[in-house]
Chain A
Amino acid sequence: MRLEIKDLHVSILDDQSKEILKGLSLTVNTGEMHAIMGPNGNGKSTLAATIMGNPKYVVTSGEILLDGKNLLKMSVDERSRAGIFLAMQNPMEISGVTNADFIKSAMQTRLSEGEHVPLFKFIKALDKSVADLKMNPDLPQRYINEGFSGGEKKRNEILQMKMLKPHFAILDEIDSGLDVDALKIVGENINNMASPDFGSIVITHYQRLLDYIDVSHVHILMDGKIVRSGGKELITKIDQDGYDWLKLELGLEDMEEPKKAVLGVCGAKKTK
């Protein structure tokens, strides 16, 4: 399968004058693992949310195609059922719904009418995935992300991914909030998903996650566009030199909002 993003322009729903993605193009095939890196505030998470169909963002032009089908015409749930998965940066807490029930309901949506998720198989697969991710065995019976640590939430996203078996997974800063051991476990689990039927886009700031994931393509996203693509050598270059060299090369200004300094009088001592 192929996920194609063509000249994508995206704004925020609440402020459509503010364009975040400014003509982004990217093609990902199943069997490939792509990493997208880049400084803060340049559109990495917006790209992830737009592919999934987050209503906070508006596509002003361009297209996203999944095996030639227009993804932008699909609702969020249709995109999911078509094979797109987004591991979110800040997964929601939902009290009253257990992880196991939620995952089972999500799996059920992928079946035809009259078909049911086989319970025994489901429990076995869930237990195995929980063990693979070295999660607490009682976690499936707990409410979705309620009372979870940052690391547990991220592992829970990967758990859902493993169970739902998407064609394309977008992992939006899945490494934030993970300690070194958890990072290794998550990285290995993502790596183990690699297959001719699975493609992924790993969004990250840091090299550390990519130490554990065998990515085939690396892209740098700046100023709402992919400005450089290459192989793993790009990761090493960014880790050593940061992004300033690229900004200079491309003539880009710093996209981050400058922080305003406020001088207050509280605690100030008047001197003669």
Chain B
Amino acid sequence: MKQLLEVIDSAKSLIDENEKYIIFNDGKAIDTNALDEVEITLNEAIDFSDYLRKNDTDLEKLIDQNAKVKTLVSIKKDVDLKIIHVCDDAKYINYQIDIAKRLNVNLTVVYGYVVNDAKIKLDVLIHHKSVVNFREYHEFSGEAKINTSFYLLRFNQLNYLSLENNSNTNDLTLNMYLLQQDISLSCLNVAINESGKIQNQNLNVYHLHEDTASNFNTYAIANNNSILNIKNIGRINNGCPRCDLKQKTKGIIVDTYSNIEADPALIIDENDVMASHGASIGAIDPEVLYYLMSRGLTKEASEKLIIEAYISPYFKDYSETNLGKYILDKIK
């Protein structure tokens, strides 16, 4: 119990002054100051099947059957909100975030201390004409499987930023469902694997309606004999013309025995669309290293600077927040 209280205290240190927050323990909200903007309901999940033509994975089924707590967070007003998860007991967490229409929402979700072998499923439904900046930070010490799905309705704009810095084997699945017209999705996913173990990422973008646009960038770093497998699928369904889909994966392998495998795939079933993808994985560019060293920086300082620069888009306008400082400190 004492340990849990310490974990919760450290979670609170990530919250900035006057910031709205919810702290979850094992899927239950235990502390919040956002009840004016947010409604939290236990065991009352939304059925997303109305919005979706296709979705189901084994993990989802598993979680649905076994989830100890199903929590619905309904966001009713414009808000800057931080959600922090601390899981010391529950292995199966299923929760949902429902963002009402015509809102401007900045949402940060942090997975801090999570019990070994945890399975977490998050579904986010964004109603029409809302602009959402959604930032995630994962720091799992134990093995974990996490499945996040976004369901986007018409005239949505979602800017999604994610950073994974986990110290164990992890499977991450991210699904972006662009369900109606005029949706703009921008994703930046930073994956750092220094765990010495294998981490898998399945990153899927589904264009299920005409006139939708997505731009998905992944920046990966593997160090300390670690393996990162990144599977990136972009799909444009038949009957969805004028879609614009872009995917890019860049990876830096820092040491000799680490590896990053990128597997980008486009499944295009419509003619009048634009789609592009690419992946480049390699060691730190020796020319860049030479350039920095020629100004007096040591090899180690140069490598550090290059890696910091590589992940800097995640911290744009964020490095001065408590969480931003915490993450930067962790990575250093």
Contact = CB atoms under 8 A, between A and B. Distances in A.
B296 A110 contact: yes
Nearest to B312: A96
Secondary structure dominating the interface of A:
mixed
Contacts of B296: 77, 80-81, 106, 109-110, 164
B193 to A, nearest CB: 20
Interface in B272-311: 285-288, 290-299, 301-302, 305-306, 308-311
Contact of B293 (A76, A102, A103): A76
B295 A94 contact: no
Secondary structure dominating the interface of B:
helix
B313 A92 contact: no
A105 B288 contact: no
A189 interface: no
Contacts of B297: 77, 105-106, 109
Contacts, number: 69
Contacts of B313: 96
Interface in A87-142: 88, 91-92, 94-97, 102-103, 105-106, 109-110
A101 B124 CA distance: 38
A79 B299 CA distance: 13
Contacts of B305: 97, 102, 105
Contact of B295 (A80, A95, A96): A80
Contacts of B290: 54-55, 76
Nearest to B307: A96
A7 B326 CA distance: 54
A98 to B, nearest CB: 9
Given A77-B293, A81-B296, A102-B292, 16 more contacts: A55-B290, A75-B299, A77-B296, A80-B293, A80-B294, A80-B296, A85-B294, A94-B306, A95-B309, A96-B312, A102-B305, A103-B295, A106-B297, A109-B301, A143-B309, A164-B296
A160 interface: yes
A218 interface: no
